[in-house]
Amino acid sequence: MEPSFTYAKPDPIAVDDLSQALDCHPILASLLTLRGITSVEDAHRFLSPGFDQLGDPFDLKDMKKAVQRILTAVKNREKILIFGDFDADGVTATALLYDFLDHCDANVSWYIPHRIKEGYSLSASHIPMAVDQDIDLILTVDCGVSSHDAVSLARGEDIDVIVTDHHEAGDRLPDALAVIDPKRKDCPAGLEHLAGVGVAFFLVMALRKHFRECHFWDEICEPNLLDYLDLFVIGTIGDMVPLIKENRVLCLAGLSRIRKGKRPGLAALAQVSRVDPTRIDSDDITFKIVPRINAAGRISHARICVSQLTDTDIVNTEKTASFLDQLNSKRQKIEQQIVQEIEWLLLKNPALINDRLLFLWDDQWNPSVLGIAASKLCRKYHIPVILLSSGADQAIGSGRSIDQINIHEALSRHSDLIVKFGGHAFASGLTVKKENLSTLRKTLKHYFNVTYSDDTFQKIIKIDAVLDLDDITYELATEINRLRPFGVANPEPVFMSENIQVMSSFIIGANHRKMILKKASSPNGVPVEAFHFNVDDPDQFPEYFPKITYKLKINKFKNQAVQIIIEGN
């Protein structure tokens, strides 16, 4: 189905007033109004956010109980175990909390479970390990809000548990000493947008304040929390949470921190990713840094990354960064093979994508990469995708969805056919008994057919502004960059231009087209460099485009130059 286009219609009076008051380009003023920002005060707070915009960490339910218990554990040299998750959010949250408690000279260790062998979150099987290690206090990060059995077992072993999480909290919370989760129904903090690393950072904010009030810093140097914001920005962007409010404030500060190159592990990751750390931006984190961190949990073990992010030895971090780079390349090959297999299957049986759900399983698929494969297919065919590996006793996999379709809700309505699942509206992980796979596929397809209309599956490209190609300048790109970092709830603007002539082009890599474009009716127009990634048919090169949709970027490799990245047209 061909995409349709919708065009933004900002209030012209509001745009003009904002443009004059801010002395900014009308396009920037237009983009601000489209984000609901119409006052000069709100615009300044968005474009130049400050720490005064941060909420009070003690507004989070159970925070006071948590910091009091942690202070007691630190003072008494009790054994503290930080239990994290195996993705970029969990890894950075673990490293952040460990760095802080290690600075406090706490008796602290950390643990990351194996993605396949142990699965997600703290489980009952982990408690005997904690008992063997004489652990007194377990702190979960980015997990734990559904670990009822594990928490109960820990209490029976006289181990206190403090849960910090950001996932959906059910009606019943685990029986922990404290459950810090902004999504629990009785939490008044208004911090639902935080990732797991964000909740961990707010815990550290509260700990530093409480420790100060208890004169803990009289003998130990009080830490600068700016030192932890490089970890905050990696985990927050990696977990694709809304980049608004506190997340925007702290991500901008975190990017500034990364550019200073203070953390050897991140500097080494930037180097192997071929990223200039002094100019790193949210795109680099999304497409270069986070995939290499996540590759460890998918192909090997995520504990490698916690060591990478907390190690101060440059030689060690460079070696580990190289290994993570190799793991990422291996992950890409595995994922590409799975996608190619599915594409070949769809070529032979195109009816598979006509049922509003692509639901497939295979004994040979690696379950660790199925989420990425599902994301690619979901974006391409604009339908929900669920892929599972059925090679073990139970099928394990991931689901991805499109706007307006809540895959987590769909799975919830058919939970009787699922061993376990978790996630959110657009992404879920699930485990299914193999004998239930066909039934689950059939019932989910029926659910999507009766619940959603044809319009829901129509891909819509939202155009923020129509630009004349001759209007594209470095100054405009610089203005638009003031809206960064882009992500959920602050999407990167998409523009459209019409009547475009291709002056030159060639293929780079396997299927990426690099072009020089100009306005067809403007012989003396300024040429614009353009990239069209993942061209479906690299043997067909249009020399003229009636219209193109694209994102405008600053060219990092040329001084004061711009380039455009063509979107699906």
Query: Is it the case that residue 110 has pLDDT exceeding 60?
Result: yes
Segment 338-349, tens digit of pLDDT: 999 999 999 999
Q: What stretch(es) of the chain map to CATH 3.10.310.30?
A: 349-457
Domain 57-259: which CATH number of 3.40.50.2020, 3.90.180.10, 3.40.80.10, 3.90.1640.30: 3.90.1640.30
Instruction: Copy the structure tokens of residue 272.
Output: 């192997």
d(CA 210, CA 75): 13
The mean pLDDT of the chain is: 94
User: By C-alpha distance, which of 214, 274, 221, 225 is closest to 253?
Assistant: 225
Name, in order, each residue with C-beta under 8 angstroms of 237's C-beta and a sequence gap of 6 or more.
243, 251, 282, 285, 286, 290, 485, 487
pTM of the model: 0.93
User: What DSSP line would sit under 387-429, residue for residue?
Assistant: EEE-SSSEEEEEEE--TT--HHHHHHTTGGG-SEEEE-SSEEE
User: By C-alpha distance, which of 224, 200, 76 is closest to 143?
Assistant: 200
Segment 144-196, tens digit of pLDDT: 999 999 999 999 999 999 999 999 888 899 999 999 999 999 999 999 999 99
Instruction: Copy the structure tokens of residue 398.
Output: 């991931």
d(CA 72, CA 78): 8
How many beta carbons lie within 10 A of that of residue 524, not counting itself? 7
As a three-state string, the secondary structure of 257-272 is: HHHCCCCHHHHHHHHH
Domain 349-457: which CATH number of 1.10.150.120, 2.70.98.10, 3.10.310.30, 3.40.50.2300: 3.10.310.30
Q: What is the structure's pLDDT at 568? A: 64
Segment 258-317, tens digit of pLDDT: 999 999 999 999 999 999 989 999 999 999 999 999 999 999 999 999 999 999 999 999
Domain 462-566: which CATH number of 2.40.50.140, 3.10.20.30, 1.25.40.10, 3.30.710.10: 2.40.50.140
User: By C-alpha distance, which of 351, 403, 354, 347 is closest to 1?
Assistant: 354
**Average pLDDT of the residues in 235-245:** 94
Give the model's confidence band at 4: pLDDT under 50 very low, under 70 low, under 90 confident, else very high: confident
SS3 527: coil
Q: What is the structure's pLDDT at 556? A: 85
Q: What stretch(es) of the chain map to CATH 2.40.50.140?
A: 462-566
Name, in order, each residue with C-beta under 8 angstroms of 540's C-beta and a sequence gap of 6 or more.
none
Q: Are 489 and 507 in contact (CB under 8 A)?
A: no
How many beta carbons lie within 10 A of that of residue 480, not counting itself? 23
**pLDDT above 90 as % of the chain:** 83
Measured over the CA atoms of residue 130, residue 134, residue 140 and residue 141, the dihedral's sign is negative
Segment 30-76, tens digit of pLDDT: 999 999 999 999 999 999 999 999 999 999 999 999 999 999 999 99
Q: What stretch(es) of the chain map to CATH 3.90.1640.30?
A: 57-259
Q: Are 12 and 468 in contact (CB under 8 A)?
A: no
